[in-house]
Structure 1
Amino acid sequence: MSVLLEVCVDSAEGLNAAVESGAQRIELCSALDVGGLTPSKGLMALAAKAPVPVYAMIRPRAGDFVFDDASRTVMLADIDAVRESGLAGVVLGASVSDGRLDIDLLAFLAKRAEGMGLTLHRAFDLVPDPLEALEQAIELGFERILTSGQAVKVSDGRRVLRRLVEQADGRISIMAGGGVLPDNVAEIVATTGVSEVHSSCRQAVTYADETLVHFGFSAQQEYRTDARTVRKMLGALEDLAQ
């Protein structure tokens, strides 16, 4: 079985590393340390030149996924920016106060994104009933759901992922994400039946220049998309397919 690898990136350097190493789709973000926010227009313009599909995250702030009118206005404008940039799609998610999907807002955003691809992000992992939410995602027209199986780490959510794949029955793709690594990707795919996986493929980078850290221009340790990790992930998936 062929399994697609989507790599999430939040910089020009990460984008280049992922594409050059063979990533088959890109999720474009800023601020991956908080789960990903909407990328800049400049990064979108650069990503539009990539030879693989690029989906931009639409998330105006960190924190929960319950959005007020001001944030909704921002999200609509960001969807317009994605369209103007020529990217393949958008990554959406929104909740109501009890964690269920905000169907009305998602329908409104999806309509604004008409003609582009749609991924439902891990706001899905907070819903009280994932099987109900899966049917709602299909009704809203999403192509795929990015999910860890409602666990912090995907390796602990495999049972739920398997149930989602079975219920989806080809009507929507279930993409495993949240702690997918070269060392566990084969087991995740084999035990859940997912046909797509999502990973940042990042490695820790420690800054030797204490001046940058002292002035607050950099954290002591950051994470960057790593080309070797992308290649290892693809290698593990290729071995699984043979």
Structure 2
Amino acid sequence: MPGPVLEICVADNPSLEAAITGGANRIELCSALELGGLTPTPGLLRVAASSPIPVYAMVRPRSGDFVFSEADRAVMLAEIDAIAEAGLAGVVLGASLPDGSLDTETLGHLAERARAHQLGTTLHRAFDLVPDIAEAVEAASALGFERILTSGRAARAIDGVGDIALAHQCAQGRLAIMAGSGIAPDVVRAIRSRAPLDEWHASCGTSQPQSAAAVSLGFTAPERRSTEVESVKALRRALDALVR
């Protein structure tokens, strides 16, 4: 029996290599993880295209919330085109209305463009802003998403496990529910005991302090995270142990 799927979120080439070496099954490719992840650069897309495992790229053209304008939508459609042209396997999408519910109109346009390119689709943690879990799962299923990434509307998945379990129940196998945020070897068994998930998302990152001068001039956040191969291996072992 194959082990659970481990998706690692990375924002640079060394982290990509560490995730693959550590045993990831899939990559979420971003830039600017300190902002929650933005669309990766063209160069990183091209490098990631040679990955031996599937790579899904974030489609998020700016920082801030997930309430996107018509101008934002036009950029996102172009980004989906670029991701397909680079040869990646899928895209990671999300869009909200001002009340936090899913913007199904925008998501419909984005998902349709992705399908036109035969790209897989993940609904990202914009889902964690929704006021109604069941309604949002139904919408995601109707839009054809393969999976929903969620922390259960909490800062850490272990604290949102009740909502994660509810999302899994509502999904009824029509799409996967993937737990993310704070996923580490010491919490996966507790989450799995409440929600029998087969997909897990983590960065397995370590923080690297940045130049004080660069920080003072606004060039960077105080810390930058990068994936550590031994952390990926440890999480891989913990997930594999769930099915033994």
Residue deviations 1:71-105, cap 9 Å, x none? 11110110000100110000000011111111111
Deviation at 1:169, TM superposition (A): 1.5
Equivalent pairs counted in the alignment come to 241
Partner of 1:223: 225
Tell me the residue number matched to 2:56: 55
Residue deviations 1:15-34, cap 9 Å, x none?
11111111100000001111
TM-score (norm 2): 0.94
Q: Give the counterpart letter for 1:97 in structure 2.
A: P
Please give the secondary structure, in 2, of the residue aligned with 1:205: strand
Q: Given the superposition, is the C-alpha separation of residues 136 and 218 from structure 1 closer, same or farther in structure 2, using an over 3 Å criterion?
A: closer
Distance 1:34 1:216, change over 3 A: closer
> 2:184 corresponds to which letter in structure 1?
L
Report deviation, 1:210.
5.8
Q: Secondary structure at the match of 2:186?
A: coil
TM-score (norm 1): 0.94
Would you say 1:171 and 2:185 are equivalent positions? no
Structure 1: distance between partners of 2:22 and 2:135:
37
What does residue 128 of structure 2 align with?
125
Match in the other structure for 1:112: 113
1:30 match:
31
* Paired position in structure 1 for 2:78: 77
Tell me the distance in 2 between the aligned counterparts of 1:160 and 1:18.
28
Contact 2:133 2:166 in 1 (8 A): no
Change (3 A) 1:66 1:21: same
Distance 1:131 1:6 in 2: 24
Q: Which runs of 5+ in 1 are unaligned?
A: none
1:28-49 superposed Cα distances (whole Å, 9 cap, x missing partner):
0001111100001110111110
* Post-superposition CA distance 1:174-233 (Å, at most 9, x none): 0000111122122222221111010011012235x6666667665553221111110000
1:91-170 paired onto structure 2 within 5 Å:
91-114=92-115, 115-170=118-173
Q: Distance in 1 between matches of 2:160 and 2:44?
A: 32
The DSSP-based 3-state class of the residue aligned with 1:113 is helix
Identity %: 51
